[in-house]
Structures are given as C-alpha cells and as structure tokens.
Structure 1
Amino acid sequence: MATSKTTNTYNRQNWEDADFPILCQTCLGDNPYIRMTKEKYGKECKICLRPFTVFRWCPGARMRFKKTEVCQTCAKLKNVCQTCLLDLEYGLPIQVRDAALKMKDDLPKSDVNKEYYIQNQERELSRTDPGSMNAKLNEPNDLLMRLARTAPYYKRNRPHVCSFWVKGECRRGEECPYRHEKPTDPDDPLADQNIKDRYYGINDPVADKLLKRAAAMPALPPPEDKTITTLYIGNLGTLTEQDIRDHFYQYGEIRSVSLVPKQQCAFVQYTTRSAAEAAAEKTFNKLILGGRRLTIKWGRSQGRSGPSIVGHISDAYEPVPGLPGALPELSNNFFNLEPGHIPLPNMPPPASLMVPPLFGPPPIPSFFFNPAQIPNFVSPAASASTSTATSETVTKQTVHYPSQDPSRLGATQLHADRQE
C-alpha cells in the first residue's frame, strides 16, 4: 500500500499554493515593513503531509527568523496561526479553546483517512466562507475572555539559546545572534512541546498551565452592604465617559457615571443592586475596551445621605474625644423670667444660642436686643438703702453672660457718679 508521501508526490493537484500566509500579530512582528521570502512547495505540512508554500521572514530586530509550519487548509480548520498554532481570536492553545467551548476534535489520525478528510474540507472551504464552518469559535466565552491576550507577546520571537555559550565556548560576544541565557530546566514540562500535540489539543503543557491559572483566578464577591450599587472601573486610558456609559448600560439603569481622568478610573452607580451585581459578574477580569483590560472592583460605601441622616446623627457619627458633651435640657422657667430678674448661676444658656439647628438660622430670643433692666440702675430716684442692697446682691451673684455684668451695663451708673 502506498504511503501518504508517495500519494502526494503524484497527486500534485492537491498541493497548496498561496500568496500570503495566515499569521497572528505576534508572529508577524511589530515592524510594518517586512521582507518575506516565498518558496513554492518548499516543505510538507506537519499535519497533513502535503507540500505547501513556505514563507520565511524576520519579525524584528534581534529576533529569530520564523517560517510557516502547517498549510493554510489545516490552519483554517482550526482557526490557528500557521507558525505558532495558537488561536487567532484569543491567542490561546487549541486545547484551552476547545475545553472552554466544549468542542471535540473530529480530525482523523490515520494517514489515508486524514488525507481524504482534508481534501473534502478544502473543497468546502473553497465554496463557502471559512467563518461559517467555525461559527462556534465566535461565541463569547467567559473563560476565554479572562485568559486571552490583549496585546502581542513579542518575547516569543526571541532567538534560541546559544549552545556554545552554555558550554562556555562562544567567542562571538555581542555579535552572537543567539541568546546568552541559562536554558530551560529539562525537567520543566514547558520544555517538552511539539507541534502535533498542540494542533490536536492533547498533552499540551502550555494549555495545562493556563487551565490551572484559570482555576486559581480570584472572584469578585458582592459586599455585604446592600446599599452599595457603585462599581470602580480602572485602567481606562483614553476612554471617555460616553464609552463607559455605552457599555455598562446593558446591565441595568445607570444613575451616574463619575470620571476621574488623573487617576484613569471611573465610578458607575446603578439604581438597583441587582444591576450592579450583574455588571460585576459579567465584566470582572473579562472586559476589554479600547484594547485595554479594565479593572473592575466594588465601590466603597458613601454613608447615609438624605433625610434619614437627621434622625440618626448619633448612629452615623461617633463622639469625638476631648469635646464637651451635649448641653442639658432647659426648663421653661428661663423663658418666663420677669423684668429685672437674673437667671440662676446653675441655669445653662438657651440651646438656640449655642448649638444652631441643622437647617435654617437659629431663632433670636426676645430679650437678646432688649436685656432686662435692673431697677437699681434704671430709677436713680429710688431710696439709697434699696439701691445699695440691690447692687450688693447683684454683685455677689455670679453672672453668666458678659452683657449681664453691672460694670458693663453701668453706663448710666458711671454717668450718675460723675454728676455726684
């Protein structure tokens, strides 16, 4: 029975000829001007063993040359890059993507069945849109959104480790195109990788590492305070308030959006707690806007506000040490004083003069601008004995206000003394 290689040798109509490769942004490099070589039927695909067009290029300065490893038909079947064999949408291994989307690999493993299957799929791809065959790959998934790379990882294009430097025999120095670094530990699972395992999604050490990371990712539990309906949005970059509002309104009615440009963050407040919980669950470690992964956290409690604070001052605020306590309640006798009477020393002043109410100006007592007149000083025609006794009594009593001191209200008395 003829082998697959012999069959491909004579069945030249199935060989692949392409004008440009299918690559991810990382493998293509950060340089917009790339010189790429093209070799028609230069190599066999490592999956279907059919000859295909090989492309070779350098992704950037101090990077190693890269080339395509699989044909375009195999890359389209899995929606992967022809070089790194990572998913083009999320930049993740096939094993992680298939586990998240619960997809099964139906690609045959034997050579004859695999060649027949590839030929049939190639005809389907030529008649239909490749995206229609991978419709399930475009479905949103929370696990893939959390693990996906938001920016190209150009570190993957670095040169290989210099084997002569490891032995201590490299004499090129800085001109050596290879890395002078300690190689990976042979016992490390990441050191044992091959293309076929990555393509079929089995025994991939990189995929195992990512799945373990996903299992250990923290969650965002809602706070116990049910009054908190605000979410903190960080790492905004150049996003505007309208961009944030356009995305977060889908989870519920928004009360306000506060943007802090200096801190590159914003606060989104919902009208209901259920809407805030739904937004936190759908966006935590998953939301990517403007090419940036946003940081989602719960906002802090702003305290009680509105009319409820009037009746709960003691509950909302704790007493400050060192300040005097609250004034005792006054009796009605203070406001029923007869003219000429002075309040007792142990009687406190009215609360309206010392502690203003929370709302509006304090009420002004009737005697504030018209102090009680003392008969001893108002009527100089009174008897000398009565005046002397009254003045001694007033002097001995302790006054509470400076305005009640006879020496300060003694303008009439001083004037009378000068006349005498």
Structure 2
Amino acid sequence: MSMSKSSYNYNRKGWEDAEFPILCETCLGPNPYLRMQKDTYGKECTICERPFTNFRWQPGKGARFKTTEVCQTCSKIKNICQTCLFDLEFGLPVQVRDHALKISDDLPRQGANRDFFVQNQERALAATDGTTPGGALATVGADHPGSEMLRRLARTGPYYKRNAPHICSFFVKGECKRGEECPYRHEKPSDPDDPLSQQNMRDRYYGAKDPVAEKILNRATALPSLQPPEDATITTLYVGNLGPAGTITEKDLNDYFYQYGDIRHLSLLPQKGCAFVNYTTRESAEMAAERSFNRAHIKNRKVTIRWGVPHAQRQAQSEYRVNPVPNLPTALPIPDELVPTKRGRMEFAPRDFMPPPAGPSGGILKVPRLAPPMGGYDQPGTSSSGYEGSSIYYPSQDPERLGAKGDVID
C-alpha cells in the first residue's frame, strides 16, 4: 500500500472503511450482477489524501476495469460519484451544477485546514440519514431556479460509452500483435492539444477549468428560446405532445400552469394530444412561456410549449403559404399565375398552350403523330392548339429544336 507522508498524520481510526461504493448508474454498468474486488485501506483519496476502502470492477462486457478515486466523505460533500466525479442527481460535472445553482466553492484544498474541514463534515454527515449532501450544496433547495437548467441539460439515461477501454499504445505505434484479443481500443488517439484530453481529478472535483463542463455550458448558451409575438393581445399558449387520450388530464395542466398566473380558459383536445392555455394577462403568459419552454414535464412527460396564433391570422397564413426553396439567399416572389382556391390552397391558373412553330413557307409545321394517351383524345383527329397532325404540341418534339437540319415538308 503506497501512501504519502500526510496519511500518517491521521489516526488509524479515522481511515474510512465501507461495504459498497457510491456510484452512478453509468459507472455501475448495465449488468445487475457484478463481481467487485474490495481492498480495505488500499488507496489514498485523491482529494483529502486519506486511506479508504478501494473497489475495482468491470461494468460490462468489453468495458475497462474501473476503480474508486475519492473517499465516501469527499463524495458526500459534493454529492458526486466516487469514480467519474459527476453529480449523482443530474449526471453533470460539478462546475456545471455549481454554475447553475450559483454555489461558490470555498473549500480548503491542502494542509491542516483541509483535514479539519473534512473531519467536521464527516461528523456532520454521520448525524444525518446519509442522503443529505454536505457543504454548500446542503443549503440549496430543490425549488432553486437553476434546477430547471440542470434538468434541461441532464441525460435521460446512462451513458455507457464512458466505460469504453483505453486506446492501445502498441496499436498507435503499429506493434500490437494481439489482434481481436487485445482488451484495449484500436483507434486513432485524439489530438494532444484537445482540452478534453487534459483533465485531472482535482479540477473536476473543485469545479474549475473543466473542459467537459465548459463544453456543456457553451451548448447551454446556444439553446433556442421562445420569443413572444409582437401582438400584445395574444395571451394563449399551445401545449403539445400530451400523448394518448387520458395520459394528461385537464386538472394536471391546470395544476402546472396555474403557478404562473390566473388562467382565463383551458381547452384540452385529447384526440389531437394538445391543449390551449389562455391567461388573463400578458405578463403571466410570458412568464409561463419563458419558464416552461423546453423545461415543462407533466407526469414524467416532456411537453411542447409554443405561443398560440389567432384563428384569423392562422387562416390568412394558410391561404397564401408557399413552400420555401432551400439554399436561396432571399425568398422568391409569388408568381402571378399562383392564385388561392376555395379550399385554401395555392394553384396555378390555366394558361394557353404555346403556339406551334411555322414552317419555311409560313404553313403549319407537321410533326409525327404520337400514340394517343390512355383514354384517347377528346376529339380524335383534331388538335387543341388548332394545328393538324398532333393532339398536343410539345416544344421538345420540334425537329429544329432537336438539331435537325434537313428539309421540312410544308
């Protein structure tokens, strides 16, 4: 057992002994039956440098062996996993959680101050039921406004890709001879200048200079927002993705949206899986749209929030709707021949056919007669364009347009 000199400053009674580690679902793996190796006082905590019981296991077939990195006391202070140091509730880095909850990390990081702080925290945690975190996180309530941001960024399920084996160093050199039996990945390593490859446990624990957290925070700033319409009289919100009829009732919607203001009318359409919530004031509608857009969960179901459009405006938009052409800098104008129909669709008005070309002497150019289409012509032997020999004139059938230079029979 390799320990630093600071470990001898502790009494052996203060060393940590545990029966099972504190792990997240990702580090635990998909297999419910695991074989763990337990080594009592077999490792030093990366943070407090105190000996603790180390656990080693393989979270699944083809995954690398994982081990605990920090002791349970340091894990409970931050409410994190002992292996990946991610938050146990949201599965996010400590820096992201502290930024959303506005927690300032003022923990002592070395010396006697750190040892004294850890001992006091261990004594305070022993007096609780074991589920309450310590430190500054214990003073944050579940209804904190930052919790909505964390729920929006949190993963809905475990991310087992984090358990993948490390890259084989012999494969990188071109000298690996084990082939498929090699327990490591045969992939090209990432760029050494990539900040994601320059992580350390202390920065992740204290929430400082974490490249993974900075990546997640940059993604959070780029999330779309719901802009209120210019018409100040609109106070209705559209609520979609309610699921089959009976999944979410009118009472469930009223209980959720009533917290933002007085509701004038609530209309539920079970067949279409949507509802319309009409507030009495515009301020209440804007508050509900801002706090529930991409955040609203009713009966563990994420619902869609949009601003409602008045029926007259929606009908006017549907009558003159033209599908945009992609990859164009500006929208094309509506053609003059495109007119609205009684059904609210846009159709082209009928136009006359292009007149047939004239022959060399001014007569009508004769073209070979094509086989009649299925159903025949309306008037066999005649042409809708008034010329002889063909039912309908097609410019692509003109011999001169096709490049013919021979004599034309008039």
- If the length of structure 1 is used for normalisation, what is the TM-score? 0.65
Instruction: Give the conservation status (yes or no) of the 8 Å contact 1:62–1:177.
Output: yes
Q: CA deviation at 1:249?
A: 4.2
Q: Specify the alignment match of 2:212 in structure 1.
A: 206
Instruction: Please say if 1:247 is aligned against 2:256.
Output: yes
Q: 1:209 to 1:321 in 2, by over 3 A?
A: closer
In the TM superposition, residue 162 of structure 1 has moved relative to its aligned partner by 1.8
Q: Is the 8 A contact 2:237 2:289 kept in 1?
A: no
For residues 133-282 of structure 1, what are the structure 2 equivalents within 5 Å? Answer: 133=134, 134-136=138-140, 138-140=142-144, 141=146, 142-225=148-231, 226-227=233-234, 229-234=236-241, 240-242=247-249, 243-244=252-253, 246-251=255-260, 252-253=262-263, 254-259=265-270, 266-272=274-280, 274=282, 275-282=284-291
Distance 1:260 1:112, change over 3 A: farther
> Which amino acid counterpart does residue 6 of structure 1 have in structure 2?
Y
- The 3-state SS of whatever aligns with 2:312 is coil
> Against the structure 1 CA distance between its residues 80 and 298, is the aligned structure 2 distance closer, same or farther, given a 3 Å change threshold?
same
Task: Report the counterpart of residue 341 of structure 1 in structure 2.
Answer: none
SS at 2:124 equivalent: helix
Aligned to 2:336: none
Instruction: Give per-residue Cα distances to partners, 1:121-157, cap 9 Å, x unaligned.
Output: 1111112345274131634313323322222212111
Task: Give percent identity, aligned residues only.
Answer: 55
Instruction: Indicate yes or no: 2:32 matched with 1:32.
Output: yes
* Unpaired segments ≥5 residues, structure 2: 321-338, 343-410
User: Is the contact between residue 231 and residue 276 of structure 1 (CA under 8 Å) also seen in structure 2?
Assistant: no
TM-superposed deviation, 1:238: 10
Relative to structure 1, the CA distance from residue 281 to residue 165 in structure 2 (aligned partners, 3 Å threshold; closer, same or farther) is same
Provide the residue aligned with 1:370 in structure 2. none
Q: CA deviation at 1:289?
A: 4.6
Equivalenced residues, count: 310
SS at the partner of 1:241? coil
Deviation at 1:25, TM superposition (A): 1.4
Shift of 1:55: 1.5
Q: Is the 8 A contact 1:227 1:273 kept in 2?
A: no
User: Which SS does the other structure have where 1:297 is aligned?
Assistant: strand
2:7 is aligned, of 5, 8, 31, to 5
Q: Shift in Å at residue 53 of structure 1?
A: 0.9
Q: Could you say what secondary structure the match of 1:99 adopts?
A: helix
Q: Which structure has more helix as a fraction of its residues?
A: 1
Q: Distance in 1 between matches of 2:294 and 2:66?
A: 33
> Is the contact made by 2:248 and 2:298 (CA closer than 8 Å) also made in structure 1?
no
Amino acid at match of 1:257: L
Q: Check whether the contact 1:27–1:84 (CA below 8 A) recurs between aligned residues.
A: yes
Q: C-alpha root-mean-square deviation of aligned residues, in Å?
A: 3.3
Where 1:117 maps in the other structure, the secondary structure is helix
* Alpha-carbon separation, structure 1, partners of 2:200 and 2:14: 26
Amino acid at match of 1:47: I
CA contact (8 A) 2:239 2:277 kept: no
Whether the aligned pair in 1 keeps the contact of 2:94 and 2:204 (CA below 8 Å) is yes
- One-letter code aligned to 2:81: C
1:285 to 284, 294, 306: 294
How far is the alpha carbon of 1:255 from its aligned partner? 1.4
Shifted more, 170-179 versus 94-103: the winner is 170-179
Stretches of structure 1 lacking an aligned partner (at least 5 in a row)? 306-312, 324-420
Alignment of 1:81-160 (within 5 A): 81-129=81-129, 131=132, 133=134, 134-136=138-140, 138-140=142-144, 141=146, 142-160=148-166
Over 3 Å counting, the alpha-carbon distance change for 1:81 and 1:288 in structure 2 is farther
Q: What amino acid sits opposite 1:78 in the alignment?
A: K
State the Cα deviation string for residues 156-213 of structure 1 (Å, max 9, x = none): 1111112222222223333322222222111111110000011111111111112222
What aligned pairs does 1:41-80 form with structure 2 within 5 A after superposition? 41-80=41-80
Runs of 4+ in structure 1 deviating by more than 6 angstroms, as ranges, are 320-323
Tell me the distance in 1 between the aligned counterparts of 2:174 and 2:208: 37
Structure 1 counterpart SS, 2:240: strand
Q: Is the 8 A contact 1:231 1:298 kept in 2?
A: yes
> Contact between 2:254 and 2:266, CA under 8 Å: does it hold in 1?
no
Determine the C-alpha separation between the residues in 2 that align with 1:260 and 1:33: 44
Match of 1:348 in 2: none
Secondary structure of 1:186's counterpart equals coil
Equivalent residue, structure 2, for 1:414: none
In 1, are the aligned partners of 2:36 and 2:56 still within 8 Å (CA)?
yes
